[in-house]
Structure 1
Amino acid sequence: MRGSDQVELTPGKKFVRALLVGFLLAIPIFAVWLMIGDRQSQSARARQSIAAGWGGPQTIAGPELSIPFKQTVNTTEQVNGTAVTHTTTIDRRLILAPSGIDAATVLLPERRSRSIYDVVIYRAQTRGRALFQLPSDLASLGVQPGTLEPARAEIRFGVSDARGLSANPDIRVGGTKLPLGPGGGTSLVGSGFYAPIDLTKVDPARLAVDFNFTLRGNGSIAMAPRAGDTAWKISSPWSNPSFAGGFLPDDRTVTPKGFEARYRIGNLALGRSLLFVEGTEAPASKEAPAADAADDAQVASIALMEPVDLYSQVDRATKYGFLFVGFTFLAYLLFDVIGGVRVATVEYLLAGAGLVLFFVLLLAFAEVIGFTPAYILAALAITGLNTAYSAAVLKSWRRAGVIGAILAALYAVLYVLLSLEAYSLLIGALLLFAALAGTMYVTRRLDWAGVRGGEVAEG
């Protein structure tokens, strides 16, 4: 006979049984959560393959002026008990950061797709001017007069991923375009390009360098400031920027049509000398000296955030899985112990399986049609399925309508929780409080232990 497994069960035992079935459903919910993580990893790998060869997250730095000089070094060694001094001449480089940089970057995003995956890439056009002032007194750095070789100087630029240089940069001094060479880099970003310059043909006391170059990249772009005064303006039609790094913009405007940010960073905030001998300065990061990308604390960074991260949304939705199971099982339990409609253990399991399937459908559809349409489609499918099944279990379409209404309300509330992240905990807590208060009121005179013997009193 259907439902014969619960003829002798008291209301309290029925509650424990529903609770145990709910805990059993934690296994498939956890499996769905693991599936989301796996799909997210696959998405990240696919995006990396799409962006391969285009350019990674970019950090730009410079320019810096590098001037070679000769340095005499005395070394002493013991030969047959006698101290012998050797004098050698080595090549060193004097590094001079600009006294001021005024730069502007225009960031143009673009979406690339492969199968169901896509990634946001960009082109960043940066132009500006840097001013250098070479000090007259270099003795404090161990640079002797007459040892500098200004004819072999270099203007160095740092680019964290030089593959993103889509065309040769335009570097000019006094209106004259300079030839370029690969490599070089700066004290903060170890890769990039350089322009050789003969300082004997210009005024080294006030050297102005105009630069204009375009970078390809994805994910984020950052500026590693290294000047007496750095002014950087960045603008883009992308409407979801994330400002990070060790420096935040002094002024920023974000609208649905894009964003614009302005940075102003002085050398006192950087805590670094503008003039030093290459190899003698402390590294930018304690973990990695002069790496290909500067330390996060030394850069101003902007990330191009996705308007909706569907995997994050599905992951958050899955964490509310117990809310759906709990409310649905609570309705079944009340129909069972108060309405007199017996609900078997297998029926709890099948209804719960449908609730868990919602999150699988949500993930599968979201990868193809987006989160919101997927959410609506999955919610309609599971609400319809469980409502129809409840009509058979509860022997009434009116009772099944209650289950359907509960699920529809839960899906609506969950969508609000996912949209209003800042208030999700508050709304969820109030919803649970209301459910507990309602259950306590309805069951306040219920004989859970089955020892009173009479009918449950009304009211």
Structure 2
Amino acid sequence: MESNQQPSTNWVRESVLLKMLIIVVIALVLLIPSSWIQGLIQERSARQQEIIEDVSDKWSGSQLVQGPVLVIPYKKQITQKDTANKITVKEYTETLYLLPENLIIKANINTETLHRGIFDVGVYNAGLSITGNFNRADLAKLQIDSSNMMLDKARLVFGISDLKGLKANPVIKVQNQLLTVEPVLNGSNLLDNGLQAAINLNKNTSSNIPFSFKLDLKGSQSINFLHTGKTTQVEVSGNWPSPKFEGRSLPDYRHIDAKGFIAKWRMLYLNRPFPQQWAANDTLLNSLKNTKDALFGVELHIQVDDYQKTTRTSKYAILIILLTFVSLFLTEVIQKRKIHIFNYALIGAAMIVFYTLLLSLSEHLGYNIAYLIAAVATIALIAWFTASLLANTKAATFFAAILTLFYVFIFVIIQLEDMALLVGSIALFVIVSVLMYFSKKISWE
């Protein structure tokens, strides 16, 4: 009876395949704390976003400059006949909307980084110079009688997404008239957070209506513009070293260096989602689709997103753990020194702790330095532990070199963008080839 149990016991202890199966199970179990790490990263990233929104709310949010639009009311009559065939004429007021013939915007952005705890938020002060001109409306095309135009009640309207960012009251110059600005309080849907200035156009004998005004704005994260001119020209310059151009139109010219950037747009109304003039529709300019299709601008992009890089790194956790376990298994077989399963679990735990080190350190030191410190600490710990298990410093040093190669491989993959898949595929092919070579030295029986 004892002779039958002894071979069975030895097989369980000596089976290479069974040990490999247990190692794979340990690696899969380590996916549970790995998923916890990813949840922690998401939580910290969400906290960062909360801080950004809170600071932006107190400073001033992203700014969208809309307009200007020339708004001219006019009288319209409707002839009605009652049951007694009596004809009555009912008069009411409609509105004509006219966009600029030429719109020129020059913006100079002075940026800075605000710190809230360990988080950074990009904010700016911007000086904008806005000039252009309106042409007289084509009333015949809109079937409007010129005698019904209420030119003395015209208004010039423009919008800013966050009025809290205005640092000074704008003064608009139209036809050599200096006009004061007041909020649009009559419930108009023409523009969000609209500002208006009353204009008397009765004295205008020219077909050209020039305008100019300056804006002194605070904002955060981004500044955008709405393409409202028949020809719109925008020039934005700033001292932010990593701008991101957003919207439907990229700049025709851009220059970016360590000192800042300059970008220029020139757009025609042919690809604009609204007409040059229209009547009786105050929602046309501010509809979600039209605004999205005519929006463009600059985002103060933080070039290195540490949370995004840490998330991408953590997704390779199972790959690194498996490769490390396989390398350690091959090392113990070649060296003919057994390593207990529990020690595999401890090494796996050390590799999971690597990600918490990376996350916590990157919030203070940045991703690259945090990765270096966390990787060196993890490799040194595992190398020391392996040397004590194998009682062979040379073998432990070789294993540490293999670990270093794995962590360097992941770091390079994270840094790459377009070439990440190609480089990763080639490297994995080489790794599998090496493992196939060393697997020949194992007696799988």
Report the TM-score when normalising by structure 1: 0.88
For residues 40 and 197 of structure 1, the distance between their equivalents in structure 2, rounded to whole angstroms, comes to 49
Please tell me whether the aligned partners of residues 327 and 406 of structure 1 are also in contact (alpha carbons under 8 angstroms).
no
Q: Which residue number corresponds to residue 397 of structure 2?
A: 401
Would you say how many aligned residue pairs link Structure 1 and Structure 2?
436
Look up the match of 2:298.
302
For the 8 Å contact 1:61–1:188, the answer to whether it is kept is no
- Partners of 2:316 and 2:93 lie apart in 1 by 65
- Tell me, what secondary structure is at the counterpart of 1:368? helix
Confirm whether residue 363 of structure 1 aligns to residue 359 of structure 2: yes
Q: 1:404–1:153: structure 2 CA closer, same or farther, 3 Å change rule?
A: same
Return the letter of the residue paired with 1:132. F
TM-superposition CA deviations, 1:154-194 (whole Å, max 9, x none): 11112122222121123112444211111379987432311
1:204: how far off? 5.0
Equivalent residue, structure 2, for 1:22: 27
SS at match of 1:353: helix
Instruction: Give, in angstroms, the shift of residue 74 of structure 1.
Output: 4.5
Distance 2:94 2:397 in 1: 83
1:195 aligns with 2:197: yes
Residue aligned with 1:59, SS: strand
Matched residue, 2:152? 151
Q: Which residue of 1 aligns with 2:37?
A: 32
Alignment gaps of 5+ in structure 1? 451-459
Measured after TM superposition, the shift of residue 339 of structure 1 is 2.0
Alignment of 1:232-271 (within 5 A): 232-271=234-273
- Separation of aligned partners in 2, 1:304 and 1:266: 26
Task: Tell whether 2:370 aligns with 1:374.
Answer: yes
Q: Which secondary structure state, in structure 2, belongs to the residue aligned with residue 53 of structure 1?
A: helix
Q: Distance in 2 between matches of 1:281 and 1:387?
A: 68
Q: What are the within-5 Å matches in structure 2 for residues 58-457 of structure 1?
A: 58-74=63-79, 87-135=89-137, 137-183=138-184, 189-203=191-205, 205-279=207-281, 282=284, 285=287, 288=288, 295-444=291-440, 446-448=442-444, 450=445
Q: 1:191 to 1:5 in 2, by over 3 A?
A: farther
Cα distance in 1 for partners of 2:319, 2:68 equals: 57
TM-score (norm 2): 0.91
Q: Whole-Å Cα distance in 1 between the matches of residues 438 and 296 of structure 2?
A: 58
CA distance in 2 between counterparts of 1:393 and 1:182 reads 76
Distance 1:441 1:186, change over 3 A: farther
Q: Are the equivalent residues in 1 in contact too, given 2:189–2:282 (CA < 8 A)?
A: no
Structure 1 contact 120–218 (Cα < 8 Å) conserved: yes
CA contact (8 A) 2:191 2:285 kept: no
Query: What SS does the corresponding residue of 1:201 show, helix, strand or coil?
Result: coil
Counterpart amino acid of 2:339?
V
Q: Secondary structure at 1:323's aligned position in 2?
A: helix
SS in 1 for 2:59: coil
Give the match's secondary structure for 1:71: strand
RMSD, aligned α-carbons: 2.4
Question: Per-residue displacement from partner, 1:18-68 (whole Å, max 9, x unpaired)?
Answer: 211111111111111111111100110011111113221111121111111
Structure-2 separation of matches of 1:218 and 1:280: 29
Does the Cα contact within 8 Å between 2:133 and 2:209 map onto a contact in 1? yes
Taking the aligned partners of 2:193 and 2:282, their CA distance within structure 1 comes to: 19
Q: How far apart, CA to CA, are the structure 1 residues paired with 2:58 and 2:94?
A: 35
Deviation at 1:271, TM superposition (A): 4.4
Distance 1:57 1:399 in 2: 57
Q: Which residue of 2 aligns with 1:454?
A: none
Percent same amino acid among aligned pairs? 28
Q: Which residue of 1 aligns with 2:5?
A: none
The one-letter amino acid paired with 1:151 is D
Distance 1:61 1:334, change over 3 A: same
CA change 1:85–1:388 in 2 (3 A) is farther
Q: Which whole-Å CA distance do the structure 2 matches of 1:193 and 1:361 have between them?
A: 51
2:57 counterpart of 1:52 = yes
Partner of 2:419, secondary structure, is helix
CA drift of 1:215 comes to: 1.8
Judging changes above 3 Å, is the alpha-carbon distance between structure 1 residues 75 and 115 closer, same or farther for their aligned structure 2 residues?
farther
Aligned amino acid, residue 14 of structure 2? L
Q: 1:34 to 1:283 in 2, by over 3 A?
A: same
Task: Give the CA deviation at 1:411.
Answer: 2.3
Residue in 2 aligned with 1:456? none
Residues 83, 56 of structure 1: alpha-carbon distance in 2 compared, 3 angstrom cutoff: farther
CA–CA distance in 1 between the matches of 2:142 and 2:270?
20
User: What whole-Å deviation, never above 9, does each CA across 1:252-275 have from its counterpart, x for those lacking one?
Assistant: 112222111111111111143211
